[in-house]
Amino acid sequence: MSRPRGFVVVTGSELVRGDRTDLNGPFLAGELLRLGVEPSRIAIVGDDPAELESALSEGLEADLCLVSGGLGPTHDDRTVELVARAADRELVVDEPLEGEIEAISRAIAERLRRPYADFAVGVRKQATLPQGALVLGIAGTAPGLVLETERGAVVVLPGPPPELKRLWPRALETAPVQAVLSRARVPERRVLRFYGASESEIARALAESGGEGDGVSATVCARDFEIHVDLFADEEGREQAEKLAAGLRERAGRHLFAEDERPVEELVLEQCRQRGLTLATAESSTGGLVAARLTSVPGSSDVFLGAVVAYANEVKVAELGVPGEVIVRHGAVSAETAAAMAAGARERLGADVAVSVTGIAGPGGGSPEKPVGLVYLHAEAPNGDLARRLTLSGDRDAVRGRATVAALHLVRTLLARSRDEAA
Amino acid sequence: MSRPRGFVVVTGSELVRGDRTDLNGPFLAGELLRLGVEPSRIAIVGDDPAELESALSEGLEADLCLVSGGLGPTHDDRTVELVARAADRELVVDEPLEGEIEAISRAIAERLRRPYADFAVGVRKQATLPQGALVLGIAGTAPGLVLETERGAVVVLPGPPPELKRLWPRALETAPVQAVLSRARVPERRVLRFYGASESEIARALAESGGEGDGVSATVCARDFEIHVDLFADEEGREQAEKLAAGLRERAGRHLFAEDERPVEELVLEQCRQRGLTLATAESSTGGLVAARLTSVPGSSDVFLGAVVAYANEVKVAELGVPGEVIVRHGAVSAETAAAMAAGARERLGADVAVSVTGIAGPGGGSPEKPVGLVYLHAEAPNGDLARRLTLSGDRDAVRGRATVAALHLVRTLLARSRDEAA
């Protein structure tokens, strides 16, 4: 029995015009893979009806077609109408749904101080669904849908990624989607996360460990400046997957930081939590990105106290207590300043653990001695500290992004080391 | 005469599996638009030959088909072979090209200390082209190609973005592509950026102003919690575009904040710079995101001094001078605390202008009186201040993201107003 085939259709004229990079296609394709459905294509189309209809007709030839976008109230949001046509279904108004959407729209009308009449047409449109469609819930004023098709099912989801991710799990629970998944062979998935190794280094370690095949498919990809390895094993591939994982641990173990999907900021918070330590950051070139990553984790407030973003030298001195002469003698971008920033953050914010970042993000500000991409990191904990000097390539965003990830991994390493010493 | 139609085919199994986000599709689509060719679709397919061939066959029905990836030396890099089949051309070995690729491969073989024999097959494969193909140059060991088609031309480019961008300009100089571009009409592009209005509100204003057609196409899209309107006008559409822009200014002028593509953080920095004002932020629930946005702009250091991320109440008191009794009486998430945070940031960081954010990002921490999504903002400048209370929907990331954008727009509004008063 071959795997069911999946097809993703993403619609949005700003996406097909290159104004914005689509994130829903990769997310949904990854979900298909995870569920044992083969992602065969991602088609990105604009709001031209002919284009969208032809993409949808192709999509409906797959066992599971996932559609994102084009659910808005305006005339050029045609996804639902064209899904109905491609699936050869009548369009019917869902009265209860119309009631729900009307309630939401009346609230909006009130807030905007506009007559509800302005919204009525859009509400009616958004409550008009293909015969037999299942409603997954409402995103904004638009319903997500599942519709059974000849081959299997089509799932229609809103374009905004958070809304799409919110409704997607509900689609998985519907009978038409379950019917497709019952024909899928869910591969066993193992993840290994590496930091500090190159993609080709890890790819070589994978090949030397036996590589793909024998019921195992593997993906090695650089993401967020880490190397993520995913192993997907069928029944008969379980053993080979175990062998590959063991081989990777043996060959690249010193770069391996996790065998689950928790991001590094979550690991750092967990390390602190387990030992009752509080955390703070002191940031110059990253401008708050490290703090933003840490506070993106729900519940981070029980560990993370705060940060001082010391962009100007006066702030480094006044708010972090960096001695002026250290900046004068060694420069704001130096190991000495980084160390003083970390110490200052611990003292001023009353934190047990602190990490600091100072560097030159560019494009300006570089010099022969201190080129763009030069970054100093310093992590300090009750029982020790760790310093790091980086020379990063790439544009301003890349330098800031890499420095942010490096800072988080530096704290992780420091905390892991002191734990091992404690043990 | 209608615009020539463009079609982008991107191949790579890591892309269709969602392991990596494709960047070539958006780049090439944007290029098509810029050149006056209508980008109709971006198709992302893996290395399955049937999928790739069907995508290429569709692509060749467009006037200009741009293909990226699948040019490597191995058996599963089938793009050239399948382009030849889709275009119904013989495959022939290009002897001079084979010589070039051989030279490169011999050097690689030497570096890797491997016999050249290991490479010979791959070299022959990569030098085998569709009859009549024009070679654009070599990326790694793979040639980029242009081939005339029934409808126009197909351009075959390497997958690595830097290599693709290097060979792309050469494709534009070839006769088959020039022939297509001679039929293209380069549109004039106007942008209008709105904040505080809903997508449907702006769409309605656009419709009421005359809407699309008459040589003007328009996109209205919600991006980063703003509404972005792009108008694309052909020769005969210039006047209509002007009329639409004027209509939008009249109907939604109070929400219009820019008629260029500069992001709000850049506008805020520019407002400060023009008047010699320095800027700081005080952030709780956004955890540094506002500072990170401001410092993402090159040269922001001449305006932005720094930030205090006061996640814990102790930090609000100690580092921002928020009176403890204000927090006790009104709570950390209150208009009073937000005001004290902004004042504290100005005083402690010595900044002329400061904006503060305190709120409940969720998923936990909400209460009936203070639900998840409740956010207080406060902006303070030498000649006045502005406060805002928001109740935001969405998950933690959405609440933080919306609050960040709202904070930036609050400062922009305050500075714009005080400028008008000054004037």
Tell me what pLDDT residue A328 has: 97
Distance CA A64, CA A177 (A): 7
- Collect all residues of chain A within an 8 Å Cβ-Cβ radius of residue B301: 311-312, 365
Q: Of B39-53, B150-164, B222-236, B273-287, give the range with the top mean pLDDT.
A: B273-287
Q: How far is B250 from chain A (nearest CA, A)?
A: 17
Window 363-392 of B, Cβ < 8 Å to A: 363-365
Q: Give me the mean pLDDT over the B143-157 stretch.
A: 97
Residues of B with CB below 8 A from A72's CB?
199-200, 203
Q: How confident is the model at residue B423 (pLDDT cuts 50, 70, 90)?
A: low
Q: Is the pLDDT of residue B22 over 70?
A: yes
Q: % helix / strand / coil in chain A, to the nearest 5?
A: 45, 25, 30
> Do residues B392 and B402 touch, judged by C-beta distance below 8 A?
yes
Residue B1 pLDDT > 60: no
- Is residue A372 within 8 Å of residue A366, measured between CB atoms? yes
How many whole angstroms separate alpha carbon B210 and alpha carbon B205? Answer: 9
Q: What is the pLDDT of residues B356-384, one digit of tens each?
A: 999 999 999 999 999 999 999 999 999 89
Residue A200 confidence (pLDDT) above 60: yes
B283 CB near a chain A CB, below 8 Å?
yes
Question: Rounded mean pLDDT of chain A?
Answer: 93
The length of chain B in residues reads 423
> Is A309 an 8 Å CB contact of chain B?
yes
Q: What pLDDT is attached to residue A242?
A: 95
- The model's pLDDT over A311-350, given as tens digits with 9 standing for 90+, comes to 999 999 999 999 999 999 999 999 999 999 999 999 999 9
- Within an 8 Å CB–CB cutoff, is residue A39 touching chain B? yes
- Strand pairing report for A188-194 and A226-233: antiparallel
Average pLDDT of span A284-302: 97
* Banded model confidence at residue A364, pLDDT cuts 50, 70, 90: very high
Percentage of chain B modeled with pLDDT above 90:
75
The helix, strand and coil proportions of chain B, stated in percent and rounded to the nearest 5, come to 45, 25, 30
Among A39, A44, A288, beta carbon nearest to B16: A39
Which one of A308, A350, A365 has the shortest CB-CB distance to B308? A308
Interface of A with B in 188-227 (CB under 8 A): 219, 221, 223
Residue A296 DSSP code: T
Question: Is A375 exposed, middle or buried (CB count within 10 Å of its CB: 0-12, 13-18, 19+)?
Answer: buried
Nearest to B3 by CA among B189, B180, B147: B180
Mean per-residue pLDDT, B122-148: 94
Average pLDDT over residues A39-47: 93
Q: What span, in angstroms and rounded, lies between the C-alpha atoms of B190 and B192?
A: 7
How far does the CA of residue A245 sit from the closest CA of chain B (Å)? Answer: 19
Average pLDDT score, chain B: 93
Give yes or no for A312 touching B (CB within 8 A).
Answer: yes
What average pLDDT does this structure show over A401-412? 97
Which of A122, A289, A301 shows the shortest C-beta gap to B288? A289
Contacts of B384 (CB under 8 A, 6+ apart): B414, B417, B418, B421
Residue A329's pLDDT is: 97
Contacting residues of B for A126, CB less than 8 Å apart? none
Scanning every residue of chain B, which has its alpha carbon at the shortest distance from the alpha carbon of A362? Answer: B298
Closest CA to A146 of A117, A179, A114: A179
Domains delineated in chain B: 5-181 (3.40.980.10), 188-258 (3.30.70.2860), 264-422 (3.90.950.20)
Amino acid type, A62: A
| Most distant CA atoms of chain A, gap in Å | 77
Range B127-132 average pLDDT: 96
Q: Stretch A110-117: mean pLDDT, rounded?
A: 84
Å from A384 to nearest chain B CA?
24
What are the backbone angles phi and psi of residue B119, rounded to the nearest 5°?
-100, -20
Cβ-defined contact of B27 to A18 (cutoff 8 Å): yes
pLDDT higher than threshold 60 for residue A44 = yes
B-proximal residues of A, 83-102, CB under 8 Å = none
Residue B253 pLDDT grade (very low, low, confident, very high; cuts 50, 70, 90): very high
Residue A422 pLDDT level (bands cut at 50, 70, 90): low
Per-residue pLDDT, averaged over B264-279, amounts to 98
pLDDT given for residue A423 in this prediction: 54
Q: What is the pLDDT of residue B422?
A: 59
B318 to chain A: which residues are within 8 Å by CB?
348-350
Interatomic CA distance for residues B96 and B265, integer angstroms: 53
> Whole-angstrom Cα distance, residue B168 to residue B174?
11
* A46·B26 Cβ contact <8 A: no
Q: Rounded to an integer, what distance in angstroms lies between the CA atom of residue B45 and that of residue B48?
A: 8
Asked whether the beta carbons of residue A400 and residue B296 sit closer than 8 angstroms, the reply is: yes
Which ranges of A237-368 would DSSP assign to H, the alpha helix? 238-252, 264-274, 289-295, 313-320, 324-330, 335-349
| pLDDT per position as a tens digit, B34-74 | 898 999 999 999 878 999 999 999 999 999 999 999 998 87
